Structure 1
């Protein structure tokens, strides 16, 4: 691992030097020449079909183009319209080779360094081509990400062999990448069908790969890598009578993880694949299956076969479900045999296994001393033996439910005299029964370009379900993310970036637990810090959210703060091939919800939220090149209260109460003197509103419904406490009570049919748009009339009744 880190550092240094040189010299002309008959085609194209905001072009004869194809026998000169074309363009150099009637003299033209013993025709006996050269060389090509492809076709009876120079290759699985960015993708042919053998990095055990009928080798070199050689040679061999043979050489103790062809897809039907292992005589090898599936066989039986030199039972046949052999001495072969699958329901055959090579094991306890204090370029990998069934792999959801487990690096490893590079936990979840929750000891920050992590270590979280791989992101301590919930199998990797990480790692840790199953790919619980900005981006940022998947963020807002939600783009740029893509912003406390279509509509402008809220995005099946990725920002600011409004409201209320008090006192005095009833008079010249939720009806000047006889103090103002039915009610009082109920645990679910325009749901305290607005043109006031005699009848009709006054019988 240290060697990989060193290689990555050297590659990064080259990148910086190349970038500096480019800035100094600016754009310069390039020329590519392809000889006639070379069989090489150069294709230069944009990274993405969609043009970026600031486009870059290929300039040829004052013409601006976005794609350039150079065929054998052509010479083309060009330059770029920008200083950093590596961000916009990639190079694909492809060589097609037909091994049917190839003269030995043509091997030089095809880019091979031929040996002196080359036969006249490759069909006639051995034909060692030798080392494969990069043609054109990297010095003749512009500084872009380059992929060299050799597609060699041969007769079905011819075997081809790829030989790799040291350092040998290491196979990687789905979701993994190479530290230096250099990858080898190798495929074979079955008639017209291409079969993926695997993807490989450097520093492994794979030394040779033999294939039948043809081979396709793709070498990817990042633009900053200085490599100018292929690192492999090719030769033809006799028929191997199977799909391929992979040779893995161990020079000492170690392990290797290997996969069947097309992994994680299905192994080709009724095919045979073999691995040859070279193990030193003083060591022993053990095989364990990490992951496998069997298909539905119609004829024959899927199996693995071991050929162990010196064994009297060769070949030893095992089913994939069996415990595999261990403590084997010497070299051995392992073969995977498929079957004839059921045409109606074929199923999938796939296998991922590990070979562990170590010293002979016995039952006695031994003490080993490992002294690496004098080593600088050595990496140490210590792994427990894989256990097929055990209490650390959650297989029974009834046992695992809600039982926490700690994800901490063992202290003994941290005390080693070498720096820890990374430490991974593979978390297996019962499918469709439980999900996984990760709670950090200290809240995490998501690494983004706008706010990168600057800590000495961090976590990488990725899903590992075959065919559903999803990279959730990189996280480091010191942020706002309290919980990360993922749906299914995941890998959590702790990676260090500085020597000082040893002490900090020992104080940190994650706690995992199995929770009830949910359908979203992931749910993030975020509690923003009042002092820092929170940047959040959707998973699989570089490749887009997977089709028909959903992810949610549960964002908490303190009662004394206001959250500002800002999206960094005006539109998502998504184009759906099928289905619909939505974004939902929901406040469970106020029941407010907004729904946006991500395919066509403009993303929301910055919005403010006084309560905790959810952000949920659900993807469709996007078109090629149109992926869904969102980046948004959450900031908190203290709530501000308009003192002028409060003082004005308080002053107005006090003034109204004071006026009412004076009127009541005056009425009492007047009643004592006159002994006659008071009368309520409508006055249309005073702009005062009655503090009541019901509304006065218009056009009452046509009748006398606004004139009332007053016989009691309570009848003068008691009507203000009456409802529309005439019964007395208590006055309405607004009292603030902080929300103390539980926050919703379930993210919003997109509706099956949604309008393309945003929809807002009104809360219980809001008025529906169809309700008539409160009229401000009908103010009322109450005063005593002049000394006019009024009859002794009394009326108990409420002031707000729209009917005319009804006389009651005299007492």
Structure 2
């Protein structure tokens, strides 16, 4: 058939009886005929779309049909019953080419004048060529091709499909579109090329040529040519299906000498091998170890100058369970970068549980071609991401046009399992210098801290106080700490929040395993990080999920929120805040909304505030309206305990703490001064009266309790008299002795009449939060708030303390009723009274 000849034009095209004629009635008729000497068939058949409500038919020899096959020597006249046959039918033209007896002709396959004589249908041209087992067939493409995946389509709807045969089994090499890098494909023994054209495409030639070549001793050979920077994505034969068993496939890449090439595997699978091993082999010009052999899971070569070959080798697969062997990879060609010749050493030889990952940061690709960013290990094994394992020194380099497109993520595990050894043990959470010296910005450095369950907790102490990130006050810093508990499974982690320097939080305590992540936002974090260190200490276990130690100041308000604000505090969880208040200031606790909208299914949600000096507590139900702003004159606790809320409800609270100067009431001071003076005068008058009355009693009614004996010689020998007047003439030698036990002794007697020796205690001034325990949280079943003792009410029988009070005082050892001492030691846990239903 002249239209499918290799570079040949048959002059007697009319003798082929190919033509078209206009029939009466406006329908266009086609007369198709093939000479018996050409091994060509033409088939017209329905397309893949289902027939519409008004189907279209082929009309030939007065009969209606839906299929028509024209073989060599046939001549047929046909027409269509509709005016848009291209929507209903397709046409396939197949030619068989025998290259075993004679070499296949050179040149490009011509489509004209045949294509102009065919009906305007979507067309598929197939060339099926066979050579001997000791020969190969080469396809040369005038317009280089781009391989596409299974199910993808080409923008211009022009598609090439190349297949081969292994015995009686057909192997699909790939499907291709125009405008790529594939210039040649060689197939061992046989090749089938299919060209799909839309019905309106009337191109004159196929766009490729075929020629006989010597044996390539492998399934196929694909040549990919780069003229400049760019990338190519290629796939193994039969992709995404199984690569043929124990076969070899090779790609040859032609790279301009001034550019560099890197290979990365996008997707691969290994089959179950009985013999040999699946692998990839590289032949790199200038390499002293050719071929370089890699496993599919290895990091592949990069930063290669010049042409190179990549071969994929299969194995003998298990007949019962062969598995799937496939490969999809990308070759990126770009200009060499300045960093490609600089090597950095990452020393992880002293680390046991620290992994360093260098990977691309998420960006939107806007350009058609974006140079790749590769990390190369030992300057040759390159990939888009690289993970460095602990226990070794690693030498890496970068092949990247912009290192800002990469970042570093580090994970380090610190585990202590023996609670006797670990108690009070501390660790400093610092970024090693080997990470900071890399030219790539650190994104996350995560420390996973593991402790014995229900035995030890953790205390995080920063060098500079921290601020919690909230919507009301953002963390505007170059780095922050993200604190989350490491739960038993996915979704069970409790996120405590994000914290940055410059706040009021001195310590964060968590009761279980925790992950602390240092996240950076700007390259300047290294300078700011030098003044901030975070120390973790293993402490005794406690009940709360977390305890925050807060020391506010007058400069700004402190905003605090419950952990997991996005998802709410977990059911039955409790969190406490230990808030310090200076002696000359007052703290105001204020909630930023009026209600929680919380509905409990079981239990009750409560907030307990406790004065740390008087131990006075206030218990408020969180299902009701939240309390108004409340003043606190001493250090105090805030404890929030959750219930089991109904579905869709959650407990999330945000509150603020602000300080103001403590004001004095001048009226009260004046009243106190006047009243104190009056009491003092009254006391002096009573004492004078008592003294005079006792003197009279002693003079009139017998001897006094103690009388000076005037018979004793009070003069020093040989000295003149010191008393010029006679002793009997005055009372200067008489002393009244008052026994305290006779006057006040009834106050020191117990119920049995015996005297009680006073106990002496020493008051120690508060030095800031130490190991004080928060108020024990409770979940009572009454919705009525229980006020045990407000901070504004003084304890019965206990006067207000001031800064001028003495540091030594005494108190009875026995405490009964309201006479008991309310100054409970700071470390004593105070259990709130239970409330009845």
TM-score, normalised relative to structure 1? 0.44
Structure index of larger Rg: 2
Bigger strand fraction = 2
TM-score, normalised relative to structure 2? 0.42
Q: Greater RCO between the two (CA within 8 Å, min separation 6)?
A: 1
